[in-house]
Chain A
Amino acid sequence: MPLSTFLGLETTLRGILAQQLALDVTGHNIANANTVGYSRQAAVMAPTPAYTVPGVTRPPQAGQLGTGVDVQSYQRMRDEFLDIQYRAQSMRQGSAQAAQDGLKQIEVAFNEPSDTGLNSLLQKYWASWHDVSNAPENLATRQALAQNAASLANGFQNLATQLQTVQTQTAQNVTDTISQVNAIGSQITQLTAAITADEVTGDKPNDLLDQRDVLIDQLSKLGNITVTVGALDTVDISIGGATLVSGGTPQSAIAESDMTSLTSGKLSGLIGLRDTTIPGYQASLDAIASTLITQTNTAHANGFDLAGNSGGVFFNGSDASTIAVNPALLTTPALIAASANGQPGNAGNALVMVDMQQTAQAGLGGATVDTAYSQLVTKLGSDVRDATQTADNATILAGSLDDKRQSVSGVSLDEEMSNLVKFQRGYQASSRALSAMDEMIDQLINRTGKVGL
């Protein structure tokens, strides 16, 4: 029976080595329990090839003898399908979050409902015309009207400036985000090159793959991406239709114009804000301001000032960013044309201005100046609410999908502790088996053949 005496030694040694490697993997898992994007690893153990006893005739014994264990590979626990789901939500979250941030800034700028917003400035402006209609001869009420009209014009200008500022910031944010996309893209390209180099030699670079997945997660927040995994774990990534990563080959940086089909992600949210949402608000605000300017100026020209002369221009400018009260009216409020016929006690033209508050304006789609502004504020409020709800939903969904991923890939300390105990005991038992072999061989070498000594 030609079996080596020392076969058992070798078998137990393999056990010791394998348990030790498994312990090392457990240590690696515990060490990375809090590393972002880390996927837990497991040592995959398998029996080493069995020893078949050679012989010309069939031996009268069991056919194959096990020879112990070996660590075949270190498996990275990861579910690619969950990655795809998570990234889809992450894209939605990115665009809603970006829209929400910008819109909230605009909402703060509007400062409604309050005693200081444009609505209340409009009310003060109309009230001043009422006061002038009550006492058209009185210079003090005219002065108050000129001042309140100036505050209203300032209110329009401030709002227009704030909208402009948010738009400029958003445009800057788009540029910064595109640089970020390109930076992440070149990091992924470098990692892919390293991964492929490792895989060619048959290794599985688990930790590099984790790092790359973290970068792809980050990228999914910024834009809609498609990820195609090729042979040897190379990836091709396109963002908004533009090729960002193509294996390990460096690509030229992409520009905004390259992303022709951007549908979600932070970039899409920001660009929507910059090109659609904010210009929409600006257009509405400008329509209100320009209607107020033209209607007021037309009516004002039909009236007469305190000296009986025809009224001049009341508001200068043409939209929300340029509206201003004719400075002559501020210095000489007698020039305000409150009279319809040149008599100082006639308030006919002031009453025309007063009635303008209730007049449906064709330029505002049949709304009055006040209601057009209310509609704008309501639209803004709904937009903020929608964006907030979408962002909240996407955050919750992304969170629960991340939980699912964690359920597969995350390190559970309890599990690692029990593994630690398991592999430690395995190591101890293998050592004990080795000792048993040792004692057996000791018996054979040192005691055998000494009968009667």
Chain B
Amino acid sequence: MSARITQNMLSRSLLLDLQNVTDKLSRTQRKISSGKELTAPSDDPFAASQALMLRQNVALDGQYQRNVAEAQSWQSVTDTALSNVTDAVLRVRDLVVQGANDTIGPQGRQAIANEVTQLIDSIKSSANAQYAGRYVFAGSATLTEPYQLGANDAYAGNAEIVKREIGPGVQIDLNTVGQSTFGDDTSGLLSTLRTIVTDLNSGNTAALGNADLRAIDVAHDSVVNARSVVGALSNRLDTALSRLQQLQDASSAQLSNVEDADMAKTLVDFSTQQAVYQSALRAGANIIQPSLMDFLK
């Protein structure tokens, strides 16, 4: 004998099925309206943990890109300053060659000495270049002006190399130290320039033609060298930036794969579930209504 089926059983199972379909419909609808496959960790715990990790990666890669961009701006300020200094040094070299010439008189040398003194100030103000309120050549004493304009050539910064992080555990040396590049009152470029001024004023053409010219070449080399380091670092930062962008793009794409709803599939699911829902309703209306009562007099 087959099982007895009662009216209550029919309505109970119809109601349960309708609730199931409605539940599925509402989930699909939420996927469509939010555009997200994952709305709670329980939707797919493994995917949720992946999503969290990928979000961390995307955020971190974005942050490293900002770090790189920041370092790049710093390098570009440094490079501009060094370029100005190089120009000034080359001009000084020309002037020294002129001053070493015996045909130029003491007055001429005086004028040249004045121009060199002006160029010293110009070099020092380049060395005082700032990026976002920070002195880029002052070592880690970034809030201290490294050089004072005028006769005092002392270096007020320090020699510390400042570090920046451009990748997990990857640190770069950010700054060019002013003292080793431009020198101070005892050595380096500035000291050489002061000697040149003295020699110009005293008419020491022998020194101008030999020692000073050699010294200015050495100083020029050191500035050019600093510039090439900056250039190499800029290249490295460019490479790092494009690599970080690629990493972030890859992580974002993966995140979207894990988190975002596949619209085509979701919409097809939605129409299927809607069709099921409607036929369940129709079947329910037809099954529940009639009973033997409708056919007895």
User: Which A residues form the contact surface with B (CB < 8 A)?
Assistant: 33-34, 103-104, 107-108, 110, 112-113, 119-120, 123, 126-127, 130-131, 133-135, 137-138, 339, 341, 343-348, 351, 354-355, 357-358, 370-371, 373-375, 377-382, 384-385, 388, 399, 402-404, 406-408, 410-415, 417-418, 421
User: Which B residues form the contact surface with A (CB < 8 A)?
Assistant: 3-9, 12-13, 16, 38, 40-46, 48-49, 51-53, 55-56, 59-60, 63-64, 66-67, 70-71, 132-134, 138-143, 158, 160, 162-165, 168-169, 171, 175, 259, 291-293, 296
Complex alpha-carbon distance, A344 and B135, angstroms: 11
Asked if residues A371 and B53 are in contact (CB atoms below 8 Å), the reply is yes
Asked if residues B63 and A127 are in contact (CB atoms below 8 Å), the reply is yes
Asked if residues A345 and B162 are in contact (CB atoms below 8 Å), the reply is yes
Asked if residues B60 and A126 are in contact (CB atoms below 8 Å), the reply is yes
Asked if residues B9 and A403 are in contact (CB atoms below 8 Å), the reply is yes
Chain B residues contacting A404 (CB-CB under 8 Å) are 3
Given known contacts A120-B55, A377-B52, A415 and B163 CB-to-CB distance under 8 angstroms: no
Most buried by A among B16, B49, B60: B49
Chain A residues contacting B160 (CB-CB under 8 Å) are 341, 343, 345-346
Complex alpha-carbon distance, A135 and B45, angstroms: 39
Instruction: List 24 A-B residue pairs with CB atoms under 8 Å apart, sorted by A's residue number.
Output: A108-B40, A113-B38, A113-B41, A120-B59, A130-B63, A130-B64, A134-B67, A137-B133, A137-B134, A345-B138, A345-B142, A345-B162, A347-B164, A358-B169, A370-B52, A374-B49, A377-B48, A385-B42, A403-B13, A406-B8, A410-B8, A411-B7, A412-B7, A414-B291
Asked if residues A381 and B42 are in contact (CB atoms below 8 Å), the reply is yes
Asked if residues B293 and A413 are in contact (CB atoms below 8 Å), the reply is yes
Given known contacts A135-B134, A351-B163, A418 and B292 CB-to-CB distance under 8 angstroms: yes
Asked if residues B55 and A417 are in contact (CB atoms below 8 Å), the reply is no
Asked if residues B53 and A374 are in contact (CB atoms below 8 Å), the reply is yes
Asked if residues A119 and B41 are in contact (CB atoms below 8 Å), the reply is no
B159, chain A: closest CB distance, angstroms: 11
Complex alpha-carbon distance, A414 and B168, angstroms: 75
Q: B138 — nearest CB in chain A belongs to which residue?
A: A345
Q: B38 — nearest CB in chain A belongs to which residue?
A: A113
Q: What is the total of A-B residue contacts with beta carbons within 8 Å? A: 179
DSSP majority for the A interface? helix
Chain A residues contacting B5 (CB-CB under 8 Å) are 407, 412
Given known contacts A113-B52, A351-B171, A388 and B42 CB-to-CB distance under 8 angstroms: yes
Asked if residues B55 and A113 are in contact (CB atoms below 8 Å), the reply is yes
Asked if residues B165 and A113 are in contact (CB atoms below 8 Å), the reply is no
Complex alpha-carbon distance, A355 and B166, angstroms: 11
From B41, B64, B141, contact of A345 by CB (8 A): B141
Chain B residues contacting A133 (CB-CB under 8 Å) are 67, 164-165
Chain A residues contacting B51 (CB-CB under 8 Å) are 113
Complex alpha-carbon distance, A347 and B142, angstroms: 11
Complex alpha-carbon distance, A135 and B142, angstroms: 10
Asked if residues A112 and B48 are in contact (CB atoms below 8 Å), the reply is yes
Q: A408 — nearest CB in chain B belongs to which residue?
A: B4
Asked if residues B169 and A399 are in contact (CB atoms below 8 Å), the reply is no
Chain B residues contacting A104 (CB-CB under 8 Å) are 42
Complex alpha-carbon distance, A346 and B171, angstroms: 13
Asked if residues A421 and B296 are in contact (CB atoms below 8 Å), the reply is yes
Chain B residues contacting A373 (CB-CB under 8 Å) are 52
Chain B residues contacting A381 (CB-CB under 8 Å) are 40-45, 48-49
From B49, B59, B66, contact of A377 by CB (8 A): B49
B162, chain A: closest CB distance, angstroms: 5
Complex alpha-carbon distance, A351 and B8, angstroms: 69
Chain A residues contacting B71 (CB-CB under 8 Å) are 134
Q: B74 — nearest CB in chain A belongs to which residue?
A: A134
Asked if residues A119 and B55 are in contact (CB atoms below 8 Å), the reply is yes
Asked if residues A413 and B7 are in contact (CB atoms below 8 Å), the reply is yes
Asked if residues B6 and A377 are in contact (CB atoms below 8 Å), the reply is no
Given known contacts A347-B164, A377-B49, A385-B42, A119 and B56 CB-to-CB distance under 8 angstroms: yes
Complex alpha-carbon distance, A348 and B164, angstroms: 9
Complex alpha-carbon distance, A3 and B146, angstroms: 141
Asked if residues B45 and A138 are in contact (CB atoms below 8 Å), the reply is no
Complex alpha-carbon distance, A421 and B297, angstroms: 11
Q: B56 — nearest CB in chain A belongs to which residue?
A: A370
15 new A-B contacts at CB < 8 Å, known A345-B175, A346-B140: A104-B42, A107-B40, A113-B48, A130-B63, A130-B165, A137-B133, A137-B134, A343-B160, A357-B60, A381-B48, A385-B45, A399-B12, A406-B8, A407-B5, A413-B291
